Structure 1
Amino acid sequence: MYIGPFEDVKKVGKVAYRLNLPVRWGHVHNVFHVSMLRKYTPDPSHIIEYEAILLQEDMTYEEQPIRIMARELKVLRNKEIPVVKVFRQNHMEDEAAWELESQMYEKYPHLFYFKLDVVL
């Protein structure tokens, strides 16, 4: 997930930039390697809306899964491993990740209950 854009204040060395971060992020180190940055092309019609993310004191947050998008059996030699594609909060659909079905079911069993139509 990317957050920003932020103004780069100055280049630090050959591969790092110091950014002008919001004051409320004062405890976050403001120097980033170029691999963590994306170039922003200015567009006057572009309106940036920030989605609030609840950060804990140690600057972490829990990514809550919203739904299971797909299920597959991965075959490794002669072993089949069930995996699920998980769509998480604060992410785009193309950022959904494959997780072990057993671990997801253990932590989030409510994602596996499907509404079944029963015809009597």
Structure 2
Amino acid sequence: MTEKVEVIHKRLIAAQDRQKKYADQGRKDMQFEPGDKVLLKISPWKDLSRFGKKGKLRPRYIRPVEVLKQVEKVAYELALPPQMQHLHSVFEVSLLKKYNVDVSHVIELEPVEIQQDLSYVEQPVRILDRKGKALKNKVVPLVRLLWRNPKVE
């Protein structure tokens, strides 16, 4: 009877080692120093509106934040912006991603002049394409236009 138990025990150990090997391939040891910039991952709860967006358009990470100190082996305290002060400032390393500073990914937004009725002026430049969408008993004309904003040519 003990021989069978030993065989089962060896097979269990082999299976656990195999699973650990596959799980460790996806893991990375990440260490951050105080002053490093990291991106904070947002929890992907469905139908929950966090940080202004919900559903497909919600961001996966929020803006870069600075690491203040290492609290535990896998926990870091972050310097959160004022609008996120209601959150606890200590996060596990699995929710953090190293932020590589790259100036080329920053998009400069030009201000849009909005009128009193909350509209702005854009003018069509030319017609790019015309099509007709056939429904059951009529044809709906579709037109693709090239638009010009007063600020952008």
**Band the TM-score falls in, shorter-chain normalisation:** 0.3 to 0.5
Q: Higher helix fraction: Structure 1 or Structure 2?
A: 2
The TM-score, its normalising length taken from structure 1, stands at 0.39
The TM-score, its normalising length taken from structure 2, stands at 0.31
* Larger Rg over CA atoms: 2
